[in-house]
Structure 1
């Protein structure tokens, strides 16, 4: 499978199955587009017809003159076409263009694998001190009552992770909510317990924290800088955008409260091992200005992502919004290239693609590992496939005291991959998005083997922009 597109002056050809990227001229671009479905004679005829038109005169330097001069130029063009065809054939033989998909058989064996749990999302607080209008967690309640995780439940969750991690040494725990700093003492106590268990079980915990910043103070920063491998800071961008969607419970905006704290934390971590994470909605389709705003404030690790909301919500992204958002991603990609040239570069999470290697094939096929390698734990110790499934009764997998009592749910997620989704099979982005989010599929279609269509379109655009940025960097 080959995907071709033009972006920022580049003709880009992606060989999907090998991951190879080719930057070509107009003639090669057009020939590749015809290559699979036409014989060489038809390709030569079509290219001659196109590139002897006046607007393409520069390619073969056609000038007014005798007929035999024009014939000479056509012969030169035909020779050039044949050379490109030969180059394409050589690339195909080398396995970097028009390669076959050899992974579908691999996934059959992959589905039979035995899995270990390597990461937990600890819902340390089903409570929040903000009232974000787009919150999927219903202001931290997750379709249930407000609650804080006890130390005993959290301790049992870490025991469960250790016991179910097999021979894996590196384990991950994200302190999540609601707002986890509303239960900060338990966070500290669990980190201490985890560090004690590392030596006993030959494990290494990577702790992360997601916070809205309202309770972020010097004590939290000092602790986070010592113990947290990554910190996610929730801010949507410009003050008017942020305050509209992320007010406190009394209706006042939270931007002025959190901004100086976030800036201080980012600097204290040397602008690494954190990111500011925002959400854009139908209300701020010009989201590239929010990314620019955050970059101008000094943040170098930025993620601003589209809201996922049902169509009846006034802030939901619509199909009609897509052309505007595509332009915004193009605008952002060009801004990032320019900022890097100026020595003011920043990272944008959705444009971070490793083209030299990246995740292993299994990861590219199956995604984040929700329901198998990654689970969410409620304040009561219930286990769910991920934080977005919490509170959905049919996806309650068990609890940290008894373990996974419904292994059929785990099996369902083990079988969820790019080949179990009809929309993904022939999509050029499938090895970059790994089939998309299972929770989004469930929320929009009632099962995890579909795909959220608007999200897919935006993801494909982000992949194109990310590749273009890499191409631009290589060409400098």
Structure 2
């Protein structure tokens, strides 16, 4: 008996590499159902196939019989061969696309600059502690910022595009420096044949016309921190003098609309126990005119009262799925519905996205502190465990290699026994280092919904995948690192 049809694009064939012990069939596959029948998800390559119902039932019984770790690999391979499943180890199937071999350290492709490690708002859920990262407020000197850009270009692959990100705190408190860096990076990139793109994360309360003109004149992605409507936003963000942070954000949007919008303008909602109904927040953000709106649960915050704990993830999943069902219905009807989490998941499933790491942090992406230290990402600035060199001396290749070796998802527990591991990558390094992995059941639940939605959207609106490209999708606003 054989699988009937692979849905979506075929991922690239793997490079030859050493084999490694696989954790068992339950970690390699997931049977799921949609309105169109039974299907098989294969973790290696993020492949999706249609299945005969009888095969689906047999696989479900097999994988439920015992734990992934206890399965006999030989018996798994025999079952795969008998059923004609496209799993590694079966006849005619190539070696796995991902094994336990750590990735080689790639050239640097993206660098964020913490140009202002201070903020004009006070938010209890801010992972950066108002940009101070547990230390003192400080600004990046101009010579450090220029040297960081020069370092990025020097470390990049010849002719490759690069991304310069601006982070904080609130980076627009250092607007003169931001403008100068854009000018310097554009000229430096032109001299060396490196196309430079830019990204900036902001609360949008201090944006000026000249900033909007800068965003419109250059290839900018701008991510705006949004927490809901006026009441929901202001309960989490305290503005100086007691004013409304939401009113200032709306005024900032008006500045962008009048003087120049960036190439991509997104809203990022940090979900806390105080966040209102997610669908209401999502549609409010869409109504404000953002190109996409996405959610991220606050797992690690200076004040634990703002963290989403393990018990709260069930409710978070229910609300995310509600938003996803709405997105599925709207997109299937041919109407735009820019729910960022959903659109990204659909694209990654369609293209066979799979990776042994959650992002490019410590690999193609690093972040520079105000003093010129290099760290794995903008969330890990000033954390000595994730320091990876300096702007002056260059990236520490040994530290980057150790990072990639230690954090490969197939070397992590319980990740290596999870069917979703190559879609998740093991979880945000910042969150795992501070809180562990409290959201694993949520991640599996969200991805299980996305698998069903992917099949149904492929049937009802295949044109969505023809017109969606990576540039249409949100990314880490500072890293764009995957």
CA distance in 2, matches of 1:174, 1:373: 13
1:102 and 2:120 aligned? no
2-structure distance, mates of 1:261, 1:300 = 16
User: How far off its partner does 1:178 sit?
Assistant: 0.6
The TM-score, its normalising length taken from structure 1, stands at 0.78
Alpha carbon RMSD of aligned pairs, Å? Answer: 3.2
Distance 2:90 2:232 in 1: 45
For 2:323, the equivalent position in structure 1 comes to 332
1:30 matched to 2:21: no
Structure 1 residues 288-307: aligned runs within 5 Å: 288-307=279-298
Equivalents in 2 of 1:181, 1:114: separation in Å? 32
Corresponding residue for 2:200? 209
Quick one: structure 1 residues 8 and 282, their matched pair in 2 at CA, closer, same or farther if it must change by over 3 Å?
A: farther
Whole-angstrom distance in 2 between the partners of 1:358 and 1:291:
27
Q: Which has the higher contact order (CA 8 A, sep 6+)?
A: 2
Tell me the matched-pair count: 416
Rg larger for: 1
Is the contact made by 2:215 and 2:263 (CA closer than 8 Å) also made in structure 1? no
Give the 3-state SS of the residue equivalent to 1:422 in structure 2. coil
* Aligned partner (choices 152, 165, 169) of residue 156 of structure 2: 165
1:403 & 1:18 partners in 2: Cα distance? 34
Paired residue for 1:469, among 453, 461, 476? 453
* Counterpart residue number, 2:25: none
Partner of residue 425 from structure 2, selected from 434, 437, 441: 434
Report whether the alignment pairs 1:16 with 2:7: no
How far does residue 347 in structure 1 lie from its aligned partner after superposition?
A: 2.5
What's the CA shift string for 1:258-315, capped at 9, x where partnerless? 1253366379878962211111111236323211222233334111211122697222
Structure 2 spans left out of the alignment, 5+ residues: 1-27, 66-78, 461-482
Q: 1:79 matched to which residue of 2?
A: none
Alignment of 1:289-368 (within 5 A): 289-309=280-300, 313-341=304-332, 343-351=334-342, 352-353=344-345, 354-359=348-353, 364-368=355-359
**Distance of aligned partners of 1:12 and 1:327 in 2 relative to their CA distance in 1, 3 Å threshold:** farther
Secondary structure at the counterpart of residue 445 of structure 2: helix
CA contact (8 A) 1:271 1:300 kept: no
Instruction: With the length of structure 2 as denominator, give the TM-score of the two structures.
Output: 0.77
4+ long deviations beyond 6 Å: 7-10, 85-88, 93-97, 266-271
Change in Cα spacing, 1:303 to 1:104, as seen in structure 2 (3 Å) is: closer
Distance 2:367 2:379 in 1: 9
Q: Which structure 1 residue ranges, 5 or more long, are not aligned?
A: 39-84, 445-451
Which of the two has greater helix per residue? 1
